[in-house]
């Protein structure tokens, strides 16, 4: 599989995807047309136009999946796929409603179609969406996603802020609660970071912020950009499947 999983698509003071321009260009090297999945946001046309403007600078045409009368046929014929960020629950419900989850997974896993996700699109690459940060504004039929990686990811991971007046759970506390119910690692991707899988190697890239790995019964482990995380590809996810 060829994967590029971004924590975020926008960075302060930078244009859309500009912070990841080089790695996106590398990931899509040789691709002429990209199939974009805009379902995580409500305005599909505007979202697709934003992606097309960026990809056009790389010489890649963009086709919005929402414009097709037969989405499954579009996925079956796609040269490469980008699933954009937004609300993970809305995105998954749309993928399920169009019957796209099995076909997307098959094209990436079996046919080697390059997959790129940002935020919610990165959540879709996991076994489930249970470690998303999003509000469940709609209800999907299940939490099961594409399973392109066997571990969970928490995009936009934020470290606890000393002295903060916020009284809700920190991201670390929420992920600890997740691990009380599910025995599967969770990689917290800080802003500006990404995972890239090429030739069976999984590498952490991006800014110096790096990532934090949470596992049941163990202290979190810090990783810097350039770290080889290929060992995570051998994880056997174990969930309480009563939750869907």
228 in catalytic set: no
Longest Cα pair distance anywhere in the chain, in angstroms? Answer: 52
Please list, in sequence order, all residues whose beta carbon lies within 8 angstroms of the beta carbon of residue 223, skipping any fewer than 6 positions away. Answer: 204, 210, 211, 212, 213, 229
19 in catalytic set: no
Distance CA 54, CA 216 (A): 40
Catalytic residue chosen out of the listed positions 134, 208, 230, 231: 134
111 in catalytic set: no
Instruction: List for the chain the helix, strand, coil content (%; round to 5).
Output: 30, 20, 50
Distance CA 94, CA 9 (A): 21
Residue whose structure tokens are 């929402």: 66
| Structural contact between residues 136 and 123, judged by C-beta atoms closer than 8 angstroms | no
Catalytic residue chosen out of the listed positions 66, 68, 156, 183: 156
Run of H or E residues at 36 = strand 33-37
Beta bridge partners of 211: 189, 223
| Structural contact between residues 201 and 233, judged by C-beta atoms closer than 8 angstroms | no
Tokens found for residue 236: 């056997």
User: How many C-beta atoms surround the C-beta of residue 166 within 10 A?
Assistant: 8
| Structural contact between residues 55 and 61, judged by C-beta atoms closer than 8 angstroms | yes
**Active-site residue list:** 119, 134, 156
């Amino acid at each position: 599989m060829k994967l590029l999983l971004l924590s975020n698509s926008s960075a302060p003071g930078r244009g859309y995807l500009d912070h990841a321009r080089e790695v996106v260009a590398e990931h899509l090297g040789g691709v002429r047309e990209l199939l974009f999945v805009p379902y995580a946001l409500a305005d599909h046309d505007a979202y697709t136009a934003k992606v097309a403007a960026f990809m056009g600078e790389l010489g890649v045409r963009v086709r919005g999946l929402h414009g097709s009368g037969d989405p499954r046929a579009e996925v079956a014929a796609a040269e490469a796929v980008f699933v954009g960020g937004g609300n993970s629950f809305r995105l998954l419900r749309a993928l399920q409603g169009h019957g796209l989850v099995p076909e997307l997974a098959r094209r990436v896993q079996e046919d080697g179609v390059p997959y790129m996700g940002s935020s919610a699109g990165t959540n879709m690459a996991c076994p489930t969406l249970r470690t998303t940060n999003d509000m469940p504004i709609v209800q999907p039929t299940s939490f099961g996603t594409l399973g392109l990686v066997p571990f969970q990811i928490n995009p936009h991971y934020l470290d606890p802020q000393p002295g903060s007046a916020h009284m809700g759970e920190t991201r670390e506390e929420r992920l600890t609660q997740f691990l009380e119910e599910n025995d599967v690692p969770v990689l917290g991707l800080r802003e500006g970071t990404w995972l890239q899988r090429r030739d069976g190697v999984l590498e952490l890239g991006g800014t110096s912020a790096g990532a934090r790995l949470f596992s049941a019964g163990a202290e979190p482990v810090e990783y810097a950009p350039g770290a080889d995380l290929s060992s995570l590809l051998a994880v056997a996810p174990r969930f309480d499947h009563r939750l869907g």
